[in-house]
């Protein structure tokens, strides 16, 4: 695994959000959220102002003396019902009785009657005339005095009856003119007048105890949409390729560092914001100048938090508090390489710096500018020690060689020029803070720009 | 312009969606077909039974106070009408109403029929009376739908009599028929056989099929006493018992037997010898006989109501009378 890949995985916040992630988080999630809210609002409306009517009143107008409900009509909406009957003739004696269907049939005998068969709508009772053979009834007792009824109510012109519990299986018999001669069939030809007088308006009044719950489906769908929105903003927003790759890696368990804790993810998400705030406080002329580099400004801004080799080479020039370098977390090789580069640049002049600039721009184009020296420190202590030993030996050897040649060292004899060179190196680092990452082998000097470019491009891949 | 049309379409779509998602009353409920259990429900509730019973008892109470049977036919029918009329006439003549006419208003059990047709009968068992008389078995019958229930028969239950078990009133029991089979005897036959036992005593060929009861024993004692008196006067006496056809009410019990309440008429003819007059043998007969001129022969007609349990065939049990009522209704001098 290359250093670039490692760095990428270590700091996902530095990556530009993919198009997939942008669509999922910017379009799908808000859309799902809005629909979810709409469904919940509809659910609340269905549970409140759009709630079904609790009270149902259905009416019918009949033209016969006797009206009978079919079994089950009284309980069609709710077990408890209040029946009101108002006769057209206010002097008529109206009676209502509850009885078993066979008792009512036995009472009516062959007399004609109207059947209430159910609800034709929420406000109307359906009814039908039964066939009659025109025979008269010969009941010995009056309607209200019969033992057949479990409940009976009579009144002048109108009457009302409320069914009690346990009336299932009972039917209602209405006598719209109980005071008249019993058994008069109002449907017979000679009883047309009676038929008109027996006209009655019947209303049944139910109060529903259990209303249909139309709100729950909306709540349910709204909840599902919320869950979908959360998933769209989290799991489904991850690039599918990366998600699969992550899964593979987790299976193989080759790199434990790729696992990112919640805190790390949060820190990564907050890092750009923190960097923005920090940069607003620590902005100096150099950084402003850095921002002037057009297309590289975003990358430069993002990489402010990284410590470039050039900046580190600058820092010793400014007296400050002692710095403690954690060799475990710092890529000292890169730091030293930066110092070496600076020295080398001072030795070779601006020409080399131009090379570096060119390389850095190449690196920027390959999106590796965000890589930091801090995060490429994956070198074992043994390697570090051997490097130090070799570096010391080489440095000592070069100084010795210079002394031997009696030449004046550019790095040591001309402090003014040294400053100038350091400033140049700083400029180099300004152009690209991440050029130090490009040489993956710190032992190699950057001499061939073409070679450098190919190396960084490989790393970028 | 196209943008404007798009906005309009979006608005219409939104309004349409809101309207469609707005709550409605739901589908209009349809009447479900009645279940088969509805047809097997009891004909009456316990409250209805109580209302019917108290209505009848109130009417009887009113007649008892007036000692006048007038108007009781609206509330009383069958053999009980004859019995109660006689009792009230006797009370009117003697001034005292027999204590046995008391019917408690409280009940211990009621058996409500489930039959859809008519006639229908309710069997109700009262508590003991205030003076510790035995419980009464009331049979109330509705002949047709256009009439009300009437007290058809009353039988005073024998002490220690074991009645069969019946379904609770909320379930109801099925009424039996006089020709029910699967029993030791058909109800009609059982009544006829019992009448034969009452007439012939232990010499009846059916006596072994019936358990002995207080009613048989009392009648036998009374007959023996009268026989002794008549023999002393060289007179004769004969009592005949006849089951009245159709005067029978049956309720099927839970164990498959039938509780049968039936009317058995009896005629007791006594002829005095040696030119003597036959006189009434009891206060009731005297009251009924009144000032009629006595002759050598007196004929007393009795109405007997007998309640008996006819067990199912194969049970090994005998037919047992559980209660009875007997009342002289007419006394004639021949």
Helix, strand, coil distribution of chain A in percent, nearest 5: 50, 15, 35
CA distance A227 to A234: 11
- Quote the tokens at residue A107: 């009472």
Q: By the 8 A CB rule, do B278 and B299 touch?
A: no
Average pLDDT over residues A266-278: 56
Average pLDDT of chain B to the nearest whole number: 91
Predicted complex ipTM: 0.86
Instruction: Give me the residue from A52, A107, A137 closest to B25, CB to CB.
Output: A52
B23–A46 CB contact, under 8 Å: yes
pLDDT average, residue stretch A335-345: 56
Query: What's the pLDDT at A276?
Result: 53
**By the CB < 8 Å criterion, does A118 face chain B?**
yes
Q: What is the pLDDT of residue A430?
A: 41
- From chain B residues 119-148, the ones with a CB under 8 A of any chain A CB are 142, 144-148
Domain boundaries, chain B: 42-333
State yes or no: pLDDT of B264 exceeds 90: yes
- What the block records as the tokens of B180 is 């029910």
Torsion angles phi and psi, residue A133, rounded to 5: -95, 5
Query: Is the Cβ pair B29, A76 closer than 8 Å?
Result: yes
Helices A449-460 and A3-10, interaxial angle, to 10°?
Answer: 40
Nearest residue to B166 (alpha-carbon basis) of B254, B240, B88? B254
Q: Look at residue A266 and tell me whether its pLDDT is greater than 80.
A: no
- Name B303's bridge partners: B265, B327
Q: Is the separation of the CB atoms in B252 and B258 below 8 Å? A: yes
**Cβ contacts of B205 within 8 Å, gap of 6 or more:** B196
Closest alpha carbon within chain A to B24: A52
Evaluated on CA atoms A166, A172, A174, A178, the torsion sign reads negative
Q: What is the pLDDT of residues B46-67, one digit of tens each?
A: 999 999 999 999 999 999 999 9
The end-to-end CA distance of chain A, in Å, is: 11
Confidence of residue A377 (pLDDT cuts 50, 70, 90): low
Contact status of A204 with chain B (Cβ, < 8 Å): no
Query: Which pLDDT belongs to residue B155?
Result: 97
B38 touches chain A (CB under 8 A): yes
Among residues A225, A208, A232, which one has the least CA distance to residue A42? Answer: A225
Q: What is the pLDDT of residue A426?
A: 43
State whether residue A74 sits within 8 Å of chain B by CB: no
Measured between CA atoms, the residue of chain A closest to residue B25 is A52
Tell me the chain A residues in contact with residue B39 when contact means C-beta distances shorter than 8 Å.
102
**What's the confidence (pLDDT) of residue A209?**
86
d(CA A206, CA A78): 6
**Residue B246 Cα, gap to closest chain A Cα (Å):** 22
Domain residue ranges in chain A: 3-13+299-460, 22-51+213-233, 55-207
Chain A interface includes B254 (CB < 8 A): no
Name the DSSP class of B133: P
Contact B180, B191 (CB under 8 A): no
Angle between helix axes B46-66 and B78-94 (nearest 10 degrees) is 30
The average pLDDT across A49-53 equals 86
In the prediction, which pLDDT does B26 show? 76
The pLDDT value given to residue A279? 55
Q: How far apart are CA A65 and CA A107, in angstroms?
A: 13
Return the higher-pLDDT residue of A364 and B57: B57
* CB atoms B31 and A122 under 8 Å: no
Average pLDDT over residues B276-297: 90
Across A298-302, A380-384, B113-117, B285-289, least confident range:
A298-302
Q: What pLDDT shows up at residue A103?
A: 92
A53 part of contact set with chain B, CB < 8 Å: yes
Nearest alpha carbon to residue B92 among B59, B63, B57: B63
CA distance B317 to B312: 8
* In chain A, % of residues over pLDDT 90: 26
Question: In which band, very low, low, confident or very high, does the pLDDT at A389 lie, cut at 50, 70 and 90?
Answer: confident
**Of B33, B41, B145, Cβ closest to residue A148:** B145
Looking at residue A89, its pLDDT comes to 86
Alpha-carbon distance A214 to nearest alpha carbon in chain B (angstroms): 7
Q: Are the C-beta atoms of B278 and B242 separated by less than 8 Å?
A: no
- Tell me: the pLDDT tens digits for A296-314? 444 444 444 444 444 444 4
pLDDT at A298: 43
pLDDT digit string, tens, across residues A120-162: 999 999 999 887 665 566 788 899 999 999 999 999 999 999 9
State residue B41's pLDDT score.
Answer: 86
How much is the pLDDT for A111?
86
- Is the pLDDT score of B38 beyond 70? no
Q: So what's the pLDDT on residue B281?
A: 87
Q: Which residues of A touch B52 (CB under 8 A)?
A: 147
pLDDT of residue A272 exceeding 50, the answer is yes
Sheet holding A158-162, edge to edge: A55-62, A200-207, A81-87, A158-162
Tens of pLDDT, residues A174-193: 998 877 654 444 344 443 43
- Helix ranges (H only) for A349-380 are 350-365
* CA distance linking residue B150 with residue A210, whole number of Å: 44
pLDDT at residue number B60: 96
pLDDT at B232: 84
% of chain B surpassing 70 pLDDT:
94
Instruction: Mention every residue, 6+ apart, whose C-beta is less than 8 A from residue B171.
Output: B42, B114
**Does B274 contact chain A (CB < 8 Å)?**
no
Give the span between the Cα atoms of A40 and A225, in whole angstroms: 10
| Helical ranges in B144-277 per DSSP H | 187-200, 214-232
Contact A169 B34 (CB under 8 A): yes
Closest approach of A235 to chain B, Cα-based (Å): 31
Task: Give the DSSP per-residue string, A101-165.
Answer: HHHHHHHHTT---EEEEEESSSSBEEEEEPP---PPP--SS-GGG-TT-SEEEEEESEEEEE--T
The more confident residue out of B90 and A348 is B90
**A253 pLDDT tier (thresholds 50, 70, 90):** low
Nearest to A124 by CA among A179, A202, A53, A188: A202
DSSP 3-state of A248: helix
Euclidean distance between CA atoms A88 and A94, whole angstroms: 10
Lowest-confidence pick of A205-209, A388-392, B38-42, B300-304: B38-42
Please tell me which of A77-91, A124-138, A241-255, B139-153 the model is most confident about, judged by mean pLDDT: B139-153
> Which residue of A56, A147, A149, A173 is the best one to mutate when testing the B interface, meaning the one whose CB has the most B CBs within 10 A?
A147
Q: What is the C-alpha separation between B87 and B69, in angstroms, rounded?
A: 9
State the nearest Cα–Cα gap between B254 and chain A, in angstroms. 24
Q: In angstroms, how far is CA A374 from the centroid of its own chain?
A: 37
Paired with B121 in beta bridges are B141
**Cβ–Cβ below 8 Å for B148 and A141:** yes
Question: Does pLDDT of A202 surpass 70?
Answer: yes
Comparing A243-247, A308-312, B98-102, the range with the smallest average pLDDT is A308-312
Ordered alpha helix ranges (H), A178-306: 192-197, 215-233, 240-252, 262-282, 285-291, 297-302
Interstrand relation of B236-252 and B136-142 (parallel, antiparallel or unpaired): unpaired
- A442 vs A275: which has the higher pLDDT: A275
Alpha-carbon dihedral sign for residues A336, A337, A338, A344: positive
Please state, in angstroms and rounded to a whole number, the distance separating the CA atoms of residues A272 and A174. Answer: 83
Report yes or no: B149 at the A interface, CB cutoff 8 Å: yes
Phi, psi (deg, nearest 5) at residue A150? -85, -25
Inter-chain residue contact A77 with B147, CB threshold 8 Å: no
B1 touches chain A (CB under 8 A): no
Interchain CB distance below 8 Å, A214 and B23: yes
Smallest CA–CA separation between A95 and chain B, in Å? 16
Contacts of B32 in chain A (CB under 8 A): 72
């Amino acid at each position: 695994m290359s250093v670039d890949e490692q760095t990428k995985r270590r700091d996902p916040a530095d990556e530009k959000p993919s198009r997939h992630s942008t669509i999922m988080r910017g379009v799908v999630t808000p859309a799902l959220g809005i629909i979810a809210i709409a469904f919940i609002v509809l659910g609340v409306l269905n549970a409140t102002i759009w709630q079904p009517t609790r009270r149902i009143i259905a009416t019918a107008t009949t033209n016969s003396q006797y009206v009978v409900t079919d079994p089950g009509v009284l309980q069609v909406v709710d077990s408890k019902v209040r029946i009101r009957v108002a006769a057209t003739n206010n002097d008529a004696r109206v009676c209502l009785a509850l009885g078993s269907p066979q008792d009512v049939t036995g009472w009516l005998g062959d007399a004609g009657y109207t059947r209430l068969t159910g609800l034709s709508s929420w406000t109307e009772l359906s009814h039908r005339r039964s066939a009659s053979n025109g025979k008269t009834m010969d009941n010995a007792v009056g309607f209200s005095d019969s033992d057949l009824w479990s409940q009976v109510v009579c009144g002048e012109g109108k009457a009302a009856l409320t069914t009690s519990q346990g009336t299932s299986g009972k039917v209602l018999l209405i006598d719209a003119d109980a005071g008249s001669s019993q058994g008069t069939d109002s449907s017979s030809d000679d009883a047309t007048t009676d038929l008109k007088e027996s006209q009655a308006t019947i209303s049944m009044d139910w109060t529903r105890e259990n209303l249909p719950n139309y709100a729950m489906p909306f709540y349910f769908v709204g909840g599902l949409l919320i869950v979908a929105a959360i998933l769209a903003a989290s799991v489904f927003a991850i690039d599918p390729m990366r998600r699969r790759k992550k899964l593979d890696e987790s299976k193989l368990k080759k790199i434990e560092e790729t696992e990112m804790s919640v805190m790390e993810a949060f820190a990564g998400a907050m890092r750009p914001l923190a960097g923005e705030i920090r940069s607003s406080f620590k902005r100096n002329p150099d950084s402003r100048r850095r921002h002037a580099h057009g297309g590289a400004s975003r990358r430069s801004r993002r990489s402010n938090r990284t410590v470039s080799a050039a900046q580190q080479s600058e820092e010793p020039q400014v007296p400050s508090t002692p710095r403690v370098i954690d060799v475990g977390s710092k890529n000292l090789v890169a730091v030293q390489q930066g110092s070496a580069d600076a020295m080398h640049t001072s030795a070779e002049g601006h020409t080399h710096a131009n090379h570096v600039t060119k390389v850095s721009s190449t690196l920027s184009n390959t999106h590796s500018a965000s890589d930091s020296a801090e995060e490429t420190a994956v070198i074992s202590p043994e390697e570090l020690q051997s490097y130090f030993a070799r570096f010391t030996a080489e440095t000592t050897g070069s100084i010795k060689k210079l002394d031997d040649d009696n030449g004046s060292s550019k790095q040591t004899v001309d402090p003014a020029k040294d400053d100038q060179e350091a400033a140049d190196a700083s400029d180099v680092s300004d152009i690209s803070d991440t050029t130090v990452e490009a040489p993956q082998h710190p032992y190699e000097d950057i001499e061939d720009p073409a070679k450098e470019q190919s190396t960084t491009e490989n790393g970028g891949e | 312009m196209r943008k404007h049309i798009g906005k309009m379409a979006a608005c219409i779509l939104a309004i349409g969606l809101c309207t469609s998602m707005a709550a409605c009353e739901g589908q209009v409920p349809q009447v479900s077909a009645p279940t088969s259990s509805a047809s097997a429900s009891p004909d009456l509730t316990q409250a209805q039974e109580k209302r019917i019973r108290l209505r009848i008892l109130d009417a009887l109470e009113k007649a008892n106070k007036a000692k006048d049977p007038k108007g009781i036919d609206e509330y009383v029918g069958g053999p009980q009408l004859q019995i109660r009329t006689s009792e009230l006439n006797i009370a009117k003549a003697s001034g005292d109403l027999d204590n046995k006419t008391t019917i408690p208003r409280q009940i211990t059990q009621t058996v409500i029929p489930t039959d859809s047709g008519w006639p229908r009968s309710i069997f109700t068992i009262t508590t003991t009376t205030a003076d510790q008389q035995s419980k009464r078995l009331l049979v109330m019958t509705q002949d047709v739908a256009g009439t009300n229930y009437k007290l058809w028969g009353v039988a005073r239950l024998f002490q220690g009599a074991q009645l069969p078990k019946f379904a609770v009133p909320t379930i109801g029991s099925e009424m039996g028929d006089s020709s029910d089979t699967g029993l030791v005897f058909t109800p009609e036959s059982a009544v006829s056989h019992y009448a034969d036992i009452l007439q012939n005593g232990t010499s009846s060929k059916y006596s072994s099929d019936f358990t002995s009861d207080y009613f048989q024993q009392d009648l036998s004692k009374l007959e023996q006493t009268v026989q002794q008196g008549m023999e002393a006067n060289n007179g004769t006496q004969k009592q005949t018992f006849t089951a009245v056809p159709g005067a029978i009410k049956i309720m099927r019990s839970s164990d498959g037997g039938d509780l049968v309440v039936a009317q058995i008429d009896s005629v007791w003819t006594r002829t005095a010898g040696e030119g003597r007059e036959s006189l009434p043998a009891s206060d009731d007969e005297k009251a009924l006989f009144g000032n009629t001129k006595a002759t050598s022969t007196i004929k007393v007609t009795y109405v007997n109501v007998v309640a008996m349990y006819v067990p199912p065939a194969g049970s090994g049990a005998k037919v047992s009378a559980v209660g009875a009522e007997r009342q002289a209704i007419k006394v004639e001098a021949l």
